[in-house]
Amino acid sequence: MLGDLELEVRHDTEASEMRIIGIDPGLRRCGWGVIEVEGSRLSFVECGTIRPPTEGELAERLAVLHRELDAVLGRMRPLEAAVEETFVNKGPRSALTLGQARGVVLLTPAIRGLPVAEYAANLVKKSVVGTGHAAKDQIGLMVKTLLPGSKAGDADAADALAVAICHAHHRVAAARVKALA
């Protein structure tokens, strides 16, 4: 019986390995970043930026965003997704367009059956940099520090990796709170 228990404990430890995709939504540039989490250790897997066409009908641009993000999800095979909540201080039209892109970004992993968490930009920054009002270059620098070997080619991919890191830090506590509810 003790042998069975040891086997089960080892299995639970292996189950703690997690692949997470973080997504920084946008219709012009949608950053994504994939990390692996094993215990408290974070590892960089891959990142990039989806750039749908800037011309054409909104519906087609949103469809391109969906197709490209779905292809990333199919290739990367994450087990959970995390999306940054958007903060927009521009006009209502750009806020509405960004909201529609964010809807696609939330829907695409959900269609695949992935749990999708959402995080405020200030919480992402605080989780990665230590302050909720960090600049983009500070986020990029801390992402490189926390994920040695990461190759975020632009701020959108770095932000997406920061969202994944934030989720890695908060997912266990969020699951405990949900279990208590």
Q: Has 156 been annotated as catalytic?
A: yes
For 65-153, list the strands marked E by DSSP: 80-84, 116-119
Query: Which two tokens mark 5?
Result: 């228990």
Active-site choice (8, 24, 36, 80):
24
Q: Clarify whether 159 is annotated catalytic.
A: no
Q: Is 80 annotated as contributing to ligand binding?
A: no
Does residue 46 have a known ligand-binding role?
A: no
Annotated active-site residue 17? The verdict is no
The answer to whether the annotation marks 84 as part of a ligand binding site is: yes
Q: Which of 68, 70, 118, 156 is catalytic?
A: 156
Output the furthest CA–CA distance in the chain (Å, rounded).
65
Q: Which one from 36, 84, 154, 159 is the annotated catalytic residue?
A: 84
Using an 8 Å Cβ cutoff, are 48 and 72 in contact?
Answer: yes
62 Rama sector, left if φ>0, alpha if ψ -120 to 50, beta otherwise: alpha
Q: Which residues contact 108 (CB under 8 A, 6 or more apart)?
A: 66, 69, 70, 73
Tokens standing for 8?
């089960």
Instruction: Please state the residue numbers annotated as binding site for Mg(2+).
Output: 24, 84, 156
Catalytic positions are 24, 84, 156
